[in-house]
Every structure is written in structure tokens, then in C-alpha cells.
């Protein structure tokens, strides 16, 4: 289990990015972090990834405190961040240098097959489209078999058709090894399409406003009434998180849960 315990982050200039945030993410669960600008979503991922340190609080994975990059935690950024001097296959296998070459080749080949890029293994990143480059980045993240995978708006720069295709590739890879996934997104429908739970965050400072379970069978039908109803629930919570004063939110948190929805 991934456990975030009363995390706070204040930067040197005094900006409070996160305040007293606690969250537990079950093994193999996919959680979408949704919120307006300034709610600390990317900061939260950086703390989990060990790329930054919390001012207070702790990140724990199966009881182990994480304070620096950990091999069990993978991350995919908004940009693919491929190494231009390596081929597609070498980019995917970059984190597997400690494995025997035969196993490394087998893993890379399988990962590229899963994202539909097996025939591009010998190409250079500059020869791929933006969507193909992001598929390489996703394959590179999964090939190391992380226990936790962090996705920081990895599809935001892509067109709707490419984004939908990458959703399918992502879920196919997830089904194989079932890592715990946290995905940051501004797209409510994307969050509902992928996640088991939507966590809506409130800005200035970043904190959790609401948590909404998404009890929808996979594969998800984006035209179904159930999908649209779930999306409306998340949109409503997001809208309220941006307009509701903090004091009102605190008072709401003290109410019995049954009175909210």
C-alpha cells in the first residue's frame, strides 16, 4: 500500500504547495488526481517519486519511508523525455542494464509489442510522432515492473484520438502487472475512463477536497449513462473545490458522509 501521511510542502519563497495531505492508495488501484492550477498535483507526484522532499509528513510504500528515488516507483512525465542518441529499443531498456542481455531484449520486445511499436525498435526518437514517443515513454516505465507508477499529465499534449488509443495501451500494460497508478489529469473524462477513484484537490494550499469511487466495469463505455453520471459527479466536485471557501470545506468535512452526495 502507498501511504501519504500529513504531507506538507512549502517552497523557499514561502509558497505553500501542499498542506497536511493524507491519502492511502491500495495495491493495484488506479487513482486520478484532479484539480485546478496551484493545487499541488505535480508537487505531490514529485514527493512520491523522491524528486523533492516534503516540509513535513511522510511517504511510505509497504511501510518503507521513501525520501529519494526508489526502483519500485516509476514516473512518466508530460513530455516523453527520450534520449535522442538511443534507439527506441534502447530507450525502453535503459533501466534494465543490470539484467542479462537476453532477458532485457525479451522484456523490451514485449513492451514494444504491447504499445504497438515493435516494428519501430531500431528507429530514433526524432523519427516518431508525438503520440509514438509517448508510447515509448510508457513502455519504458512499465518494462521495469514498478510497484507504483506515477503519470504527470502524460496525454495532455495529444489529440483526442491519440489520447484514447494511449488509454487502451496503458490499461493493457497495467492489466499484465497491476501496479498501483496515480495519474494527474485536468481532463475529468480521462480520469473517469482510467481510474478506480477520483481524488479532487483544492488549491492554495493544495489539499484533498473529495474522494469519489468510480465503480465502472472495464472496458468502459464512455457513452453510457453510468459513465456520464460518474463524470458529472467529479465535475461537480471539481467546480465546488474551485469556488468553495476553505472554511466551508472544513465544515463539510465534519459532516456525516451520507449528507454530502
| pLDDT tens per residue, range 193-234 | 999 999 999 998 999 999 999 999 998 999 999 999 999 999
Check if the beta carbon of residue 202 is closer than 8 Å to that of residue 37: no
Q: Which pLDDT does position 259 carry in this prediction? A: 34
Thinking of the domain 9-48+148-259, which architecture would CATH place it in?
A: 3-Layer(aba) Sandwich (3.40)
Could you state, in order of their start, the residue ranges of all structural domains in the chain?
A: 9-48+148-259
| pLDDT tens per residue, range 64-83 | 999 899 999 999 988 899 99
Q: Please tell me the distance from the alpha carbon of residue 46 to that of residue 34, in angstroms, as a whole number.
A: 16
Arithmetic mean of pLDDT, 14-30: 95
Q: Which pLDDT does position 245 carry in this prediction? A: 58
Check if the beta carbon of residue 48 is closer than 8 Å to that of residue 59: yes
Question: In the structure grid, which three cell numbers stand for residue 92, read together?
Answer: 525502453
Q: Please tell me the distance from the alpha carbon of residue 127 to that of residue 124, in angstroms, as a whole number.
A: 6
Query: How far, CA to CA in Å, does 255 sit from each of 167, 225, 248?
Result: 36, 29, 11
| pLDDT tens per residue, range 155-198 | 887 888 888 888 998 999 999 999 999 999 989 999 999 999 99
Amino acid at each position: 500500500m502507498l501511504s501519504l501521511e500529513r504531507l506538507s510542502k512549502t517552497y523557499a519563497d514561502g509558497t505553500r504547495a501542499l498542506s497536511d495531505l493524507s491519502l492511502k492508495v491500495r495495491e493495484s488501484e488506479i487513482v486520478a488526481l484532479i484539480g485546478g492550477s496551484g493545487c499541488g498535483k505535480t508537487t505531490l507526484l514529485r514527493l512520491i517519486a523522491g524528486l523533492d522532499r516534503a516540509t513535513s509528513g511522510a511517504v511510505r510504500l509497504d511501510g518503507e519511508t521513501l525520501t529519494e528515488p526508489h526502483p519500485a516507483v516509476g514516473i512518466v512525465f508530460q513530455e516523453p523525455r527520450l534520449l535522442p542518441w538511443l534507439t527506441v529499443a534502447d530507450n525502453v531498456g535503459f533501466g534494465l542494464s543490470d539484467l542479462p542481455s537476453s532477458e532485457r531484449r525479451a522484456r523490451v520486445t514485449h513492451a514494444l509489442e504491447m504499445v504497438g511499436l515493435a516494428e519501430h525498435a531500431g528507429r530514433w526518437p526524432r523519427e516518431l510522432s508525438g503520440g509514438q514517443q509517448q508510447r515509448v515513454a510508457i513502455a519504458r516505465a512499465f518494462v521495469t515492473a514498478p510497484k507504483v507508477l506515477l503519470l504527470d499529465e502524460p496525454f495532455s499534449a495529444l489529440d483526442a484520438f491519440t489520447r484514447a488509443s494511449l488509454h487502451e495501451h496503458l490499461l493493457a500494460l497495467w492489466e499484465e502487472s497491476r501496479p498501483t497508478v496515480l495519474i494527474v489529469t485536468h481532463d475529468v473524462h480521462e480520469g473517469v475512463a482510467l481510474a478506480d477513484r477520483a481524488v479532487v484537490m483544492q488549491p492554495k494550499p493544495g489539499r484533498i477536497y473529495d474522494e469519489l469511487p468510480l465503480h465502472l466495469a472495464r472496458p468502459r463505455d464512455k457513452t453510457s449513462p453510468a459513465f456520464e453520471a460518474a463524470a458529472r459527479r467529479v465535475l461537480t466536485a471539481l467546480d465546488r473545490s474551485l469556488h468553495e471557501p476553505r472554511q466551508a470545506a472544513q465544515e463539510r468535512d465534519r459532516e456525516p458522509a451520507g449528507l454530502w452526495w
